[in-house]
C-alpha cells in the first residue's frame, strides 16, 4: 500500500506539473457550459414579425400590444396589406407575419368566426414549428379573452408546465454537460495517459517497480477521479450562477451517481488503452467511440424518441444515456434513488462488465 500511495502521489505531481493540460481540463467544463448554455438552444426569442392590419380597431390594438409585451417577438412593421411580405421574407427582415381580417371587433362582438393567417419562415423546420406555436398561443389567448362568453361554447384550458415553466433550453442542455465533461476528463484522459506510457517506453520502468500492473493502472486513474469530481462541481456552480439551473434533488446523491459514472468512464478508457498502441490511436478511438455517442445517442441534444428504431436500441449500450436520465431527474425533477434505481443498477452493471473486460485485456508486458 505504501508503494501504491507513492505511485499515486507521483502521478498527481506529474499531472500538476503539466500546467497546460491541467488548465485545459479545469477550464473545459466552464467553457462547455457557457458555449452550450448560450449557443445550443431550442427556444426562440426576439422573432421579427410583421402585422397586417387593414382596419385597426380596439381589438387589433390589444392583440398588437400583447405581441409587443411578449419577449418572444418584436414587431418590425404594421402594414395595411400583404404587399411586400414576400420581399421581407426573402431578405430576412421578418421571420413571421400575422394577417388580420377587416372588422375584427365587430366579428368578435357578434361571435362570428375570425380567420387569422399566420405566415412563418419554414426554412428551418424545427425553428419554424416553434415560432408557429408561439404565435398561435398568443392569438388563441387573445381570442378567448376578447370574444364574449355568450357567443358560443368556449373551452378555456388551464395549462401548467412542470419542472421548467419558462421553457428554458439551458435547463435541458446544461445538466447533460456533466456526462459530456466526465467522458472527456475520465475516459479520454485515462486512455491517453496509459497509452502514453506504452508509447514513450516508460512502462518498462514501472514494471520493475514492486507494484502490480493492475495497481499501476489504478494509481494512474486516481488523479482523474478527483479531477472528475472537481469538474462536476464546476459545472454545477456555473449552471446555477450563470443560467439559474436549479438543483431540486439531493447534492449527495448527485455526487454519488457522478462518482459511479466516473468509474464507468474510467473503465471505458482502460478498455480503449489496452488495445491502442499509441496516444493518437487512443484519442481517435475515444473521440469516435465515446464523444459522438454521448452527443448523439444519449438524448443530450436530440430526443431519443425521434431517432430511428435501430438507433434507439443502440442507445441502450451508451452509458451516458442512463446517466443523463439520472442527472436531469435529480437536478430538474428532484427525483431520488427510489425513482432512479433502475438506471443506477444498469450503470453499476456496465461498470462491472467494463472493469472485468479491462482487467482481462490488461496484459502489460515487454515486446
323 has pLDDT over 90 = yes
pLDDT-based confidence at residue 52 (cuts at 50, 70, 90): very high
Identify which of 79-83, 194-198, 241-245 has the greatest average pLDDT.
79-83
Pure H helices in the chain: 2-17, 19-39, 58-69, 85-91, 104-110, 125-146, 170-182, 189-200, 203-207, 213-243, 251-275, 279-286, 292-296, 309-315, 319-328, 337-361
Which of 80 and 220 is assigned the larger pLDDT? Answer: 80
Q: Which own/partner contact pairs does 132-140 have at CB distance under 8 Å and 24+ positions apart? A: 134/44, 134/47, 134/70, 134/72, 134/73, 135/49, 135/73, 135/96, 135/98, 138/63, 138/66, 138/67, 138/70, 138/73, 139/63, 139/98
Q: Is 163 left (phi over 0), alpha (psi -120 to 50) or beta?
A: left
Pairwise CA distance, residues 46 & 74, whole Å: 6
3-state secondary structure of 111: coil
Pairwise CA distance, residues 159 & 192, whole Å: 51
For 157, counting Cβ atoms within 10 Å of its Cβ (0-12 exposed, 13-18 middle, 19+ buried), the class is exposed
232 and 156 Cβ atoms separated by less than 8 Å? no
Pairwise CA distance, residues 191 & 185, whole Å: 10
172 has pLDDT over 80 = no
* Structure confidence at residue 124 (pLDDT): 66
* Structure confidence at residue 257 (pLDDT): 93
Q: Averaged over 127-148, what is the pLDDT?
A: 83
pLDDT in tens, 203-262: 656 656 666 666 766 777 788 788 888 888 888 888 888 888 888 889 999 999 999 999
Pairwise CA distance, residues 294 & 155, whole Å: 43
160 has pLDDT over 60 = no
* Structure confidence at residue 21 (pLDDT): 64
Pairwise CA distance, residues 153 & 253, whole Å: 50
* Structure confidence at residue 67 (pLDDT): 92
* Structure confidence at residue 256 (pLDDT): 93
Inter-CA distances, 293 with 35, 177, 189, 215, 264, Å: 19, 14, 17, 30, 15
The chain-wide mean pLDDT, for the chain, equals 79
* Structure confidence at residue 78 (pLDDT): 92
* Percent of the chain residues topping a pLDDT of 90: 17
pLDDT-based confidence at residue 365 (cuts at 50, 70, 90): very low
Which of 94 and 184 is assigned the larger pLDDT? Answer: 94
Which of 46 and 200 is assigned the larger pLDDT? Answer: 46
> pTM for the complete prediction?
0.72
344 has pLDDT over 90 = yes
* Range with lowest mean pLDDT among 20-34, 68-82, 121-135, 262-276: 20-34
* Structure confidence at residue 250 (pLDDT): 92
Q: Averaged over 129-146, what is the pLDDT?
A: 85
Give the cell for residue 173.
Answer: 442542455
* Structure confidence at residue 64 (pLDDT): 92
Amino acid at each position: 500500500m505504501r508503494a501504491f500511495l507513492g505511485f499515486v502521489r507521483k502521478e498527481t505531481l506529474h499531472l500538476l506539473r503539466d500546467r497546460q493540460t491541467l488548465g485545459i481540463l479545469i477550464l473545459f467544463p466552464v467553457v462547455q457550459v457557457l458555449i452550450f448554455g448560450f449557443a445550443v438552444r431550442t427556444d426562440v426569442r426576439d422573432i421579427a414579425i410583421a402585422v397586417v392590419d387593414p382596419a385597426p380597431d380596439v381589438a387589433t390594438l390589444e392583440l398588437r400590444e400583447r405581441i409587443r409585451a411578449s419577449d418572444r417577438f418584436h414587431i418590425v412593421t404594421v402594414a395595411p396589406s400583404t404587399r411586400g411580405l414576400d420581399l421581407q421574407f426573402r431578405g430576412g427582415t421578418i421571420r413571421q407575419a400575422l394577417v388580420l381580417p377587416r372588422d375584427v371587433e365587430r366579428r368578435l362582438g357578434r361571435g362570428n368566426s375570425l380567420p387569422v393567417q399566420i405566415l412563418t419562415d419554414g426554412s428551418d423546420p424545427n425553428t419554424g414549428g416553434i415560432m408557429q406555436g408561439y404565435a398561435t398561443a398568443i392569438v388563441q389567448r387573445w381570442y378567448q379573452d376578447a370574444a364574449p362568453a355568450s357567443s358560443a361554447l368556449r373551452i378555456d384550458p388551464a395549462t401548467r408546465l412542470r419542472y421548467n415553466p419558462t421553457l428554458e433550453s439551458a435547463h435541458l442542455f446544461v445538466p447533460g454537460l456533466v456526462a459530456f465533461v466526465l467522458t472527456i476528463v475520465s475516459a479520454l484522459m485515462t486512455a491517453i495517459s496509459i497509452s502514453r506510457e506504452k508509447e514513450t517506453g516508460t512502462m518498462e520502468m514501472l514494471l520493475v517497480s514492486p507494484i502490480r500492473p493492475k495497481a499501476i493502472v489504478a494509481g494512474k486513474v486516481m488523479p482523474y477521479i478527483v479531477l472528475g469530481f472537481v469538474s462536476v462541481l464546476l459545472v454545477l456552480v456555473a449552471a446555477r450562477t450563470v443560467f439559474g439551473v436549479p438543483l431540486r434533488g439531493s447534492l449527495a446523491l448527485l455526487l454519488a451517481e457522478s462518482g459511479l459514472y466516473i468509474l464507468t468512464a474510467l473503465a471505458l478508457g482502460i478498455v480503449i488503452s489496452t488495445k491502442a498502441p499509441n496516444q493518437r490511436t487512443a484519442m481517435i478511438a475515444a473521440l469516435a467511440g465515446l464523444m459522438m455517442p454521448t452527443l448523439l445517442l444519449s438524448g443530450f441534444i436530440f430526443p431519443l424518441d425521434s431517432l430511428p428504431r435501430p438507433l434507439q436500441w443502440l442507445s441502450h449500450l451508451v452509458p451516458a444515456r442512463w446517466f443523463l436520465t439520472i442527472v436531469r431527474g435529480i437536478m430538474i425533477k428532484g427525483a431520488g434513488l427510489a425513482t432512479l434505481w433502475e438506471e443506477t443498477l444498469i450503470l453499476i452493471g456496465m461498470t462491472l462488465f467494463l472493469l472485468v473486460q479491462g482487467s482481462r485485456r490488461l496484459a502489460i508486458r515487454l515486446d
